Copies of this chain bind each other. A is one copy, B any other.
């Protein structure tokens, strides 16, 4: 591994000074009125030597590094967080930034330490992310940094979150517009501290009420297949005749499918199903599931745009629409 080639080397080979070489290599030669052929010599020398500026040295001098930090509570849980990371990655790369990724497991001390470390490395900005939407309190050291919250919220800080109320409306309307009015059940227990739960419910109520419809009831299962399988199965065995269900998420829908399958009932003819998240499951289920998508990549892209945009991110909450992915789990009613 030979010594790095430095600006000095380029300047020497071009028979000029570092300053001159510097200006032509950073493309500011026009403003310095550097001679066309000096310019040529520098460019050629740089090429021949395969000169690459030392970004650490540059960073030390300029105090800007073109790096940003993503601080997330989890990067892989639930198969969701991955898309957040991927989205952030793509968006930062597109702007020529490199991304430090950190995972905190919600450990506040670790968070503080990480922020210190990242500050010591002069990252230009911070993305603070959570794998499910919630309110957070960010480390104090972050408060006077350039920061955007991704999929979470804190008073006074710029944040990007999915429009869960709209999603609730969308889900209900998918059923209403297909002709369902009576026998619409909600599956998945309400969770008062989970933003997604509260807001989806609100959206659903809104849309239903606006159509003069009331939900037939709620199946209070955990947001997992097994629990949904059992509780929704029990509902069926009770002799209830749901016409349609709105599931808390795709995993719940999976449990509903299983409960139906065991009893020989069919989606969508015996029961219409809509859900939230649009995870991989939605297309794996049979028949494929109509689901309101959580646009993780887009959330991340927007957060990065805000973060790196002129003048820094405008404070306040940015709500990103959750689009409906129509598939085969809702039949139009006669």
Write the residues of chain A forming the contact surface with B, with a CB cutoff of 8 angstroms.
Answer: 1, 52-57, 59-60, 65, 67, 74-76, 78-79, 81-83, 85-86, 89-90, 93, 98-103, 116-122, 144, 224-226, 229, 251, 254-255, 258, 261-262, 264, 280-281, 284-286
Is B89 a contact of A102 with CB atoms below 8 Å?
yes
Whether the pair B65, A76 counts as a contact (CB closer than 8 A) is: no
A98 CA / B90 CA spacing, docked (Å)? 19
Q: Is the interface of A mostly helix, strand, loop or mixed?
A: helix
Q: Using Cβ atoms and an 8 Å threshold, which residues of chain B touch A261?
A: 258, 261-262
Contact status of A56 and B54, CB under 8 A, knowing A89-B75, A89-B101, A89-B102: no
User: Which residues from B are CB-within-8-Å of A120?
Assistant: 52-56
Task: Kindly name the residue among A81, A90, A116, A258 whose own CB sees the greatest number of chain B CB atoms within 10 A.
Answer: A258
Neighbouring B residues of A79 by C-beta, 8 Å: 79, 82, 280
Which single member of B60, B76, B90, B251 contacts A82 (CB below 8 Å)? Answer: B76
With A82-B76, A261-B262: A117-B102 Cβ-Cβ less than 8 Å: no
How far is A119 from B82 in the complex, measured between Cα atoms in Å? 26
Is B229's CB under 8 angstroms from A258's CB?
no
The quantity of this chain's copies bound in the complex is 2
Which residue in chain B gives the minimum CB-CB distance to A53? B120
Are A75 and B65 in contact, with the CB atoms below 8 A? no
Q: 13 new A-B pairs (CB below 8 Å) besides A56-B56, A67-B100?
A: A56-B120, A76-B86, A78-B280, A82-B85, A89-B101, A93-B103, A98-B118, A99-B100, A99-B102, A261-B261, A261-B262, A281-B281, A281-B284
How many angstroms from the CA of A119 to the CA of B1 in the assembled complex?
12
Q: Which of chain B's residues have a CB closer than 8 A to the CB of A144?
A: 1
Residues of B within 8 A of A1 (CB): 144
**A160 to B89 Cα, complex, angstroms:** 25
* Distance of A73 Cα from B252 Cα, bound (Å): 32
**Closest chain B residue, CB of each to CB of A259:** B286
Least Cβ–Cβ distance between A130 and chain B, in angstroms: 15
Residue of B nearest to A118 (CB): B98
B116 near A52: Cβ-Cβ < 8 Å: yes
